[in-house]
Chain A
Amino acid sequence: MEQLIQQIASGLASGAIYALVALALVMIFTATDHLNFAQGEMAMFSTYICWQLIQWGFPFWPALGFTILFSFLLGVAIERVILRPLHNASVLSIVVVFIGLLAIFHSLAGGIWSHTIKNFPSPFPNVTFAGSGYIGAHQIGMILVSLLMLFALFAFFRFTPLGLAMRAAAQNPVSARLVGVKVDWMLALGWGLAAAVGAVAGAMVAPVVYLEPNMMASILLYGFAGALVGGISNPAGAVFGGFLVGVLENLVAYFGNLTEKTFGIYIVGNGEKLTVALIIVITILTLKPAGLFGRTTVRRV
């Protein structure tokens, strides 16, 4: 029983990681209608910037603040310089650009900072408290930050004119332009914001998984799963999806292990936990293609 609680707590903690990445994916999807495969590597690169600033003596929060600003500008710059000429290109060309960006950021980080894993400091105090045997202070901080980010994004899209304009620009560029939305700049802004969210995700993830160029590679996969199961157009859904995937994979391993111990039959174990979690995700998507909380888009043809 105690292990079950521990496994759920640990699942929630990794779920927070997936949720943060899922948020960045939702951000860029809402703003540009694309899924950015380079999202993880961009976040990883931002995390290196943050690490470098901390190495140079900056305290954590100012370093993170600067990193977020830098990532925002980098995101805007990427959209303006690289994706701008491709506005009318097919989806496939854009996917190729995303994969190219992925490779570029990966090699750049490896080239500049080497591949040795780096310890990334946690901004949260390392205190013991009731229940700290189940979940660490950083893990709780990470869960709180992901919820905070969710509320910020939700409020931004729901209650600000800029957020509304961005959604309009992504979903119906032609009409948006007709009512005076600067569609080009909205897309660039979306890239900037997604990169900024990614930077926060990276800084939260790195103390747990260690900073290295491959840090985000596998997390992005879980982030995708989380975002899709919750609904790629819905920030709250994506965060929920992230937590769901995190807890599910731990429970699959836990019950698999329990079955093996009790009955001596091996059905599933650690090796299959991602597979089983993804099967569940696919099942959900088959039944509800827009995700658990996604809005089904109806298009008039």
Chain B
Amino acid sequence: MTELKRRTVIAGLGALAVTPVFAPAIAQKRYDEGANDREIKIGNIMPYSGNASAYGVIGRTSEAVMKMVNDAGGLNGRKVTFITYDDGYSPPKAVEMVRKLVEEDKVLLVFNPLGTPSNTAIQRYLNQRKVPQLFVATGASKWGNPRQFPWTMGWQPDYVTEGAIYAKHILSTKPDAKIGVLMQNDDYGKDYFNGFKQGLGPANERRIVQLSTYEVTDPTVDSQMIQLKNSGADVFFNITTPKFAAQAIKKAAEIAWKPIHYLNNVSSSFGSVLKPAGIDNAQGIIVALYRKDASDPQWVNSPDVVAWKAFMAKYMPNADMRDDGHNYGFSVAHTLLQALRQAGDNLTRENVMKEAANIKGFEAPLLLPGIKINTSPTDFYPIQSVQLARVKGESFELFGGVLSNESTS
């Protein structure tokens, strides 16, 4: 009953949101709060402290990208001011910081806030105030819902889609698989697992012979790995964040368990997962990718990787180059620049949102070849394609074609 009520309220808000805010003025240049002839103000929140502080580098990278833009003369002649606050990965603090961004700093939009809990907490507020919540940094499947939340848009492929893609691949290559799943026991893990089950379909759900969960507070996943090995599973779907992924890969080698290993994209990094886990132990692991790992030798001459390296050398000289957050931040910040470029001199919130939902075939830097950003007024999922790859040496060997959401549903 309460659920129903809330939906009704939200739907009502959505209807309000699409009505024009004011009648169009005659002048060509149009602005909302946070934009004028000289400046565009962008707000951002990140966990710079607390448990998820590892992701803080994404915010620092976006900030540095904006500095690079300003050094090159700004965006359409306007200086980009990037204001980023620490939310400590805590939803109440996220709300507080976002209110500060909107009401005190008067930003044009809130860009790439990180984490499913924080984004959930600020979504209603931003939609009520009609402030864009653009390209959120979470792979939950709920951010592409323009009917209820016309001011919120995701960015990366969502976990449900990705989970389904692994399931389809297992069914087509090993129909008699006995599947063991290691899952982080929270919304992120469940999203992946649900997608995976959907991909298998009800008839094949029994192929999952063991589901072992862990809590983020567990020091190790050793005990779970022993359970999985003893379940007799010959296919392993590894839904873990980087530290636990490295532990699981290493432990599997230690206890001589050699299943076909599928690793979620969240942990598809050489620098922060596969190398610490031991490259030998990681051979043959299958991951779904949508971005290039800039440390992968196969991309060394690719222009976007060269540009990224030059950017890192100049604007983040002390950063840990192995940290995938820098790749992510570079790519997502360029997506925002694209939307703002398209908006041109009409920098109202409504128009920015309209242009964000009107990106066609944009190849953001560091996306895999063939993966493009496409949005429309009904499609608020910018990236919906991935390609499977196998770990070979210190490189990802891509195989099969680019897989899209449509082909999995």
Residues of A within 8 A of B (CB): 2-3, 6-7, 10-11, 13-14, 17, 103, 106-107, 110, 114-119, 133, 136, 205, 208-210, 212-214, 217-219, 221-222, 249-250, 253-254, 257, 269-271, 273-274
| B320 and A269 form a contact (CB under 8 A) | no
A60 to B224, CA, bound (A): 30
Q: Known: A114-B319, A115-B57. Is A253-B223 also a contact (CB below 8 A)?
A: yes
Does B185 have its Cβ within 8 Å of any Cβ on chain A? yes
CB distance from B290 to the nearest CB of A (A): 21
The 3 closest A-B pairs by CB, nearest first: A115-B54, A114-B320, A218-B217
Q: Output the least CB separation between A185 and chain B (Å).
A: 35
Contact A115 B227 (CB under 8 A): no
Determine the distance from Cα of A1 to Cα of B230 in the docked complex, in whole angstroms.
10
- Which residues of B does A touch, CB under 8 Å? 49, 51, 53-54, 56-57, 185, 212-220, 222-224, 226-227, 230, 242-243, 246-247, 254-256, 271-273, 275-276, 319-320, 322-323
Residues of B within 8 A of A117 (CB): 242-243, 246, 272-273, 276
Asked if A271 and B255 make an inter-chain contact with CB atoms under 8 angstroms apart, the answer reads no
| Docked-complex contact B226 and A214, CB < 8 angstroms | no
Interface core residue of A208, A210, A221, A257 (most chain B CB under 10 Å): A210
Q: Closest chain B residue to A212 by CB distance?
A: B243
| Chain B residue nearest in CB terms to A222 | B219
**Can you show 18 pairs from A to B with CB atoms below 8 A apart?**
A6-B226, A14-B223, A114-B57, A114-B320, A116-B54, A116-B271, A116-B322, A117-B242, A119-B275, A119-B276, A208-B247, A210-B243, A217-B217, A218-B216, A218-B217, A269-B213, A274-B215, A274-B217
Note all chain B residues with C-beta closer than 8 A to A2.
Answer: 230
Known: A114-B57, A274-B218. A250 touches B223 (CB 8 A): yes
A221 to B226, CA, bound (A): 23
Residues of chain B lying within 8 A (CB to CB) of residue A249 = 223
Contact of B247 among A10, A205, A210, A217 (CB under 8 A): A210
CA distance A11 to B226 in the complex (A): 11
Q: Which residues of A contact B230 (CB under 8 A)?
A: 2-3, 6
Q: Which residues of B contact A209 (CB under 8 A)?
A: 219-220, 243, 247
Bound together, the chains give a CA A74 to CA B409 distance in angstroms of 58
- Residue on B with the closest CB to A249? B223
Specify the chain A residue showing the minimal Cβ separation from B51. Answer: A214
Docked-complex contact A218 and B243, CB < 8 angstroms? no
Q: How far is the CB of A103 from chain B (nearest CB, A)?
A: 8
Question: With a CB–CB cut-off of 8 A, which chain B residues contact A270?
Answer: 185, 212-215, 223-224, 227
Whether B223 contacts A212 by the Cβ 8 Å rule is: no
Contact: B255 with A133, CB < 8 Å?
yes
Is the CB–CB distance between B219 and A271 below 8 Å?
no
Q: Which of A7, A136, A217, A250 contacts B51 (CB 8 A)?
A: A217
B227 CB contacts on chain A under 8 angstroms: 3, 253-254, 257, 270
Interface contacts beyond A217-B51, A269-B213, A271-B213: sample of 6 additional A-B pairs, CB < 8 Å, sorted by A: A3-B226, A14-B223, A110-B53, A114-B323, A117-B272, A270-B185
Q: Write the chain B residue with the least CB distance to A214.
A: B51
Q: Nearest residue in A to B183 (C-beta to C-beta)?
A: A270
| Contact residues in B for A110 (Cβ distance below 8 Å) | 53
What is the minimal beta-carbon distance from A116 to any residue of chain B, in angstroms? Answer: 5
Q: Which residues of B contact A115 (CB under 8 A)?
A: 53-54, 56-57, 323
Given A114-B57, A118-B276, also A218-B246 (CB < 8 A):
no
Across the interface, which residues of B come within 8 angstroms of A269, CB to CB? Answer: 213
Q: Which of B56, B212, B218 counts the most chain A CB atoms within 10 A?
A: B218
Please give, as numbers and ranges, the residues of chain B lying within 8 Å of A205 by CB-CB distance: 219
- List residues of chain B with CB within 8 A of the CB of A7: 223, 226
Residues in A neighbouring B215, C-beta threshold 8 A: 270-271, 274
The distance from the CB of A206 to the nearest CB of chain B, in whole angstroms, is 11
Q: How far is the CA of A6 from the CA of B227 in the complex (A)?
A: 9
Residues on the A chain within 8 Å of B243, using CB: 117, 209-210, 212, 214
Measured CB to CB, the nearest residue on chain B to A3 is B230
Complex: how many Å from CA A257 to CA B230?
A: 11
Task: Give Cα A292 to B243, complex, Å.
Answer: 34
CA distance A263 to B255 in the complex (A): 28
List the A residue with the shortest CB-CB distance to B213.
A270
- Minimal Cβ-Cβ distance residue in B for A110: B53
Question: Considering the chains assembled together, what is the distance between the CA atoms of A11 and B49 in angstroms?
Answer: 31
- With A6-B226, A257-B227 as known contacts, state yes or no: A107 contacts B51, CB within 8 Å: no
Chain B contacts for A217, CB-based, 8 A = 51, 217
* Chain A hits for B256, CB < 8 A: 133
Chain B: minimal CB distance from A76 (Å): 28
The interface centre, meaning the residue of A114, A221, A250 with most chain B CB atoms within 10 A of its CB, is: A114
